[in-house]
Amino acid sequence: MSAPLLEVEDLSVEFDTRTGVARVLESVSFALGRGETLGLVGESGCGKSMTALAIMRLIPNPPGRITAGRVRFEGRDLLALDDASMRAVRGNRVSMIFQEPMTSLNPVFTVGEQIAEAVRLHRGLDRRAAHARAVEMLAAVGIPAPARRVDEYPHQFSGGMRQRVMIAMALACDPGVLIADEPTTALDVTVQAQIFDLISDLRERTGTAVVLITHDMGAIAEMTDRVAVMYAGRIVEEGTVAEVLGAPLHPYTQGLIACAPGRRTAAAGAQLEEIPGTVPSLLERRGGCAFADRCRHAMPACRASLPAETVLDGGRRRVLCWLHASPGEAAA
């Protein structure tokens, strides 16, 4: 990979709650190259969406705060920018689409006005040019009759079409990175496939790098080049899709893959495997591996201390598990 476009380094986030401080992200690091797609996968509450919000500097403060780390994009640390400089990046060079477009689209403005506003703000286009760009983007995401529909309101679009509008808005300023947070969860299966095809197609045409946040292993297999598996606020395994899905190293990744619906056997009465136990509370101060209570391979060392990260294949394959630590680290 050439020099990374986006580098997240040791990112940590905490939230104040009534019962204590929840450490929702702990030392999260990954890198993304131009035109690359990285999947962030894990169960609900593992920190996937928090990672996206932290990159966009949208963690509500209070009660949340970024306590450590860097987010380098095009050579600048986004966490060190003043608010005005960050506003110039957000929705322009780094864009995000959310699970439910109705929470992001404003019901009282036409979709054309909302797309045009982004390009006028970030690109300084006049009203006529911004309107033309809105029509062009609606056409690019496959909205039929874009010149007419540009003047319609969000409620006049179906769920799938609204998600296309969100993608049009996110890509209107040619971002370097698009963060897609569960972009198809609210949609039916056929529309899901169309939205994934659309994102892949636009990525190929524009070179936009994509961070795809999902709990869907099928989407990861189809859409992404690399995958980072998150558990209890940490990345526990990262590698290419072929490596991680084909030969998972971390017991949690192995469990996730075993649970994926595509793995269901055709045998009558066959059951999906489940990972036993529940995700630990993020309020607990953990000395060891957060997965230890659910892991069939857990050893005394796993509860005593956090596993050292084992780096393989020149640095782009890594795993956080005592099973894969070098003998020196395991004994330390």
Taking CB under 6 A as the binding criterion, the range among 35-43, 67-75, 278-286, 318-326 that sits at the site for ligand SF4 is 318-326
* Under 8 Å between Cβ of 211 and 32: yes
Shortest Å distance, C-beta 248 to ligand SF4:
11
Shortest Å distance, C-beta 231 to ligand SF4:
9
Enumerate residues 145-164 that contact ligand SF4 by CB under 6 A.
none
The Cβ of residue 321 has, within 10 Å, a number of other Cβ atoms equal to 22
* Under 8 Å between Cβ of 186 and 100: yes
CA-to-CA dists, residue 264 to 41, 257, 273, 275, 295, angstroms: 19, 10, 9, 15, 22
Identify residue 208 by its one-letter amino acid code.
T
Q: In the complex with ligand SF4, which residue's Cβ is closer, 154 or 251? A: 251
Report how far residue 84's alpha carbon sits from residue 150's, in angstroms, rounded to the nearest whole number: 29
Report how far residue 246's alpha carbon sits from residue 254's, in angstroms, rounded to the nearest whole number: 10
- The token pair at 112 is 């054309």
Enumerate residues 242-301 that contact ligand SF4 by CB under 6 A.
250-251, 289, 291-292, 295, 297-299
* Under 8 Å between Cβ of 69 and 9: yes
* Under 8 Å between Cβ of 167 and 202: yes
98 binds ligand SF4 (CB under 6 A): no
Q: In the complex with ligand SF4, which residue's Cβ is closer, 146 or 307? A: 307
Shortest Å distance, C-beta 324 to ligand SF4:
8
323 binds ligand SF4 (CB under 6 A): yes
Q: In the complex with ligand SF4, which residue's Cβ is closer, 69 or 307? A: 307
- The token pair at 280 is 């630990």
Q: In the complex with ligand SF4, which residue's Cβ is closer, 61 or 305? A: 305
Q: In the complex with ligand SF4, which residue's Cβ is closer, 271 or 278? A: 278
List residues binding ligand SF4 (CB under 6 A): 250-251, 289, 291-292, 295, 297-299, 302, 307, 321-323
